[in-house]
Structures are given as structure tokens and as C-alpha cells.
Copies of this chain bind each other. A is one copy, B any other.
Amino acid sequence: MTDDPLPALTGPVEVVGAGLIGTSIALVCSRLGIEVVLRDASEENIRTAHGLGAGRAATDADRPQLVVVAVPPARIADAIVEALGRTDAVVTDVGSVKAAPLAAVTPRVGAADLARYVGSHPMAGSERSGPLAASAALFDGRPWAVTPHGSADSHAVGLVESLVLECGAAPVRMGPTEHDRAVARISHLPHLAAVLVAGRLATAPVEHLALSGQGVRDVTRVAASDPALWQQILEANSEAVLDLLAEVRADLDALMTAVAADSGPDLVEILARGNAGTAAIPGKHGGPARPTRSVFVAVPDHPGELARLFGDAGEIGVNIEDVHIDHDPGRPVGLTELVVERGSAERLLAALESRGWTTHR
């Protein structure tokens, strides 16, 4: 809340909960040469994280500068209280919901201890869980909410923002209640919509599912996540989630009425609002989404061919924004999709063809 430089993260950093998020943070800090000490109810998680180079088991002699609480939602408040009582470190948690743990912690600690607590929430994850799914790259370029309460110490806020920046993420500061309303909309509602759609697939005839395309895969992907974890997240944010579900229920009723009444203009208006919503999501790195085009190249399925393709693309001098490989083990030739800025696509196509590649528009 000042313009002073952020306090340096010098460590030790104590990570409580060596799951996906905790071990990923531990990996980042360890790579930076910061000492990391680990606590977890599961000895095996600590051994696994240690084996990955993510730090060592904590001892009572350790004096952490920062404690990162990365346990399941239902245990977060207890872990924060415990860490504030055991250490004089700054304490953050990385849970998906911020107001409920704060409300649970506040009456249980003194004002001076509470000032050392600053919640946060990295907008990164995976359908997989546990330390083996961890990655030091998990947070790269992702938003990471930092949610200080009204009496948080500015040094503590700064130290948590230092951690966020060291992880390669972009800190987004907002209040705990504001954060919970935001994630209800941009995380919990999309998750539940995916769950409802996937739920309708669970009992579908196999022949129907054979027609599945990329759309249904994208819409339902997040529904593969851990039910026990999501139960805790949703219960901790039930008020904001219920408000939004009620809005969606009203929208669904309007949609059903429009379809049943064959009312074209009403239906188009609902569909157009969906267009507006997708356009409102900021681009991958915060900037506006840039128009791209895909160039498809047939690549023989043996080692070295991809290297030759990227070598040629490099010499042609077109910047490749993204790549997808449609690899079918049953075929000798795979299709590689190169995503480039729209204005460069024709030049890349022509140059690749002149070098003997088979391209498809």
C-alpha cells in the first residue's frame, strides 16, 4: 500500500501441505536458492517432494520468514492459526476462497498475529493432484490474487507479493470478499457448468459419445477434478456461488422459453450475450487477444522431421505462437498445426510449400 520496494524473499520458506500447489511453490523457491522446509500429514508426500528437489522436512528449530499454507480448504483456517502461533513469520494461504478462512481465523488470534496473515490465491492448477503433478512452471504468467484484510501489515502484503513475482505470476490485489465474488463467477460457475454437462454424458449411449468433438471435450475438461476438493471449495463460497447459480437458473428458464416458443430474436440475444462474454475475457497475458491463423503441415512420424519443420519455420522468420500435434499412432504421417499471427500465414504457407512441405489451409 506504499510505493516502497517489496521486501526481498530470502527464506526460509515453510510450505505446509506438499500437494500440487505447495510442492510447485517449493520447487520455484528451491530453484531460486531459497531454503524450503516442508510439513505434511503424509510422510510420503514429504519424501516425494524432497525427491523432486523441493526442500526438506521441517524441524522445530526452523525459523521461517514466510509460511505458505497449501492444505485442503476445510483445514486451512486451523493451519493458519497454528502457523501464526508457532512462528513469527508472515503467513499466507493459497486456498480458492478467502473470506471464510479469514472469518474463522480472526477471533482465534491476537491483533498483532492477525496482521502477519495475508491470504492469496494463484489462478493455476491441474485436473491432477499431489506432489508428483507439481511443476515450477505452474504459475508462469498466471494471475495470483493477493487479498489483504483491513488490518494486514504492509510488510506482510509486500512479502506475499514478492513470492508471487518470484513464481513468475502476476499479483492482482483485491479484498477477500471481492475475491470470492470474482472466483464464483470466473472459476466456480464454469466448473459447475462443466460438471452438469459432463453429468449428462455419464449415462449416454456409447454410439452417441462416438460423435464427441473438441467442443464437448473443452467444455467438460475441468469436471475431471477431485470431487472432495471441490465440495470444500463450494461450501466455503456457498453464498456467492448460490447467487450466481440463481442468475444462471433464470437465464436457463429464459433460454428454454425462447427455444420452446421458436422465438428467434430472443434466442439470438441470449447467444450474442455469450459472444460478448467470451470477448470480455482478457488475452492470455493480460493484453487483448491477437488475431491468429492456423497453418497445417503434414509431418512424417519419425524423429527429426519436427526439428526440420521448426528449423525451416525459423529460417522463414515467422513467429510461431502455438503448436498442436494431432498424433495418431495408426498413421505414418501426423498433422502439425502452427498458430501464427494472421498476417504471416500466407507467407509461411508459401515458403513451407517451396521447401517441399505438404500444407493444408
User: Which chain A residues have a beta carbon within 8 Å of chain B's beta carbons?
Assistant: 27, 52, 123-125, 134-137, 140-143, 145, 172, 174, 178-179, 181-183, 185-187, 189-202, 204-205, 207-213, 215-225, 227-228, 230-231, 234-235, 238, 241-242, 244-249, 251-253, 255-256, 259-260, 262, 264, 267-268, 270-282, 284-286, 294, 296, 303-311, 313-315, 317, 319-330, 335, 337, 360-361
Residues of B within 8 A of A253 (CB): 249
Partner of A247, one of B200, B304, B360: B200
In the complex, the 9 A-B pairs of residues with the closest C-beta atoms, listed nearest first? A198-B277, A195-B274, A303-B314, A227-B271, A223-B274, A307-B311, A182-B208, A201-B277, A137-B360
**In contact, B256 and A249 (Cβ under 8 angstroms):** yes
A248-B200, A307-B311 given; A264·B281 CB < 8 A: no
Complex CA gap A107/B141 in Å reads 59
Complex CA gap A253/B228 in Å reads 20
Partner of A189, one of B137, B200, B235: B200
**In contact, B277 and A223 (Cβ under 8 angstroms):** yes
**Interface SS, A side:** helix
**In contact, B202 and A276 (Cβ under 8 angstroms):** yes
Complex CA gap A309/B212 in Å reads 34
CB distance from A192 to the nearest CB of B (A): 7
Residues of B within 8 A of A181 (CB): 208
Residues of B within 8 A of A140 (CB): 326, 335
Q: Which residue of B lies closest to A308 (CB)?
A: B307
**In contact, A282 and B325 (Cβ under 8 angstroms):** no
Scoring A190, A207, A268 by chain B CB atoms within 10 A of each residue's CB, the highest score goes to: A190
A210-B172, A259-B241, A278-B223 given; A234·B326 CB < 8 A: no
Partner of A281, one of B137, B216, B306, B324: B216
Partner of A268, one of B192, B228, B327: B228
Instruction: Knowing that A123-B212, A190-B220, A202-B274 touch, tell me 13 more A-B residue pairs with CB under 8 angstroms.
Output: A27-B361, A174-B207, A185-B204, A189-B197, A218-B219, A227-B268, A227-B274, A245-B255, A249-B249, A249-B256, A284-B328, A303-B317, A307-B310
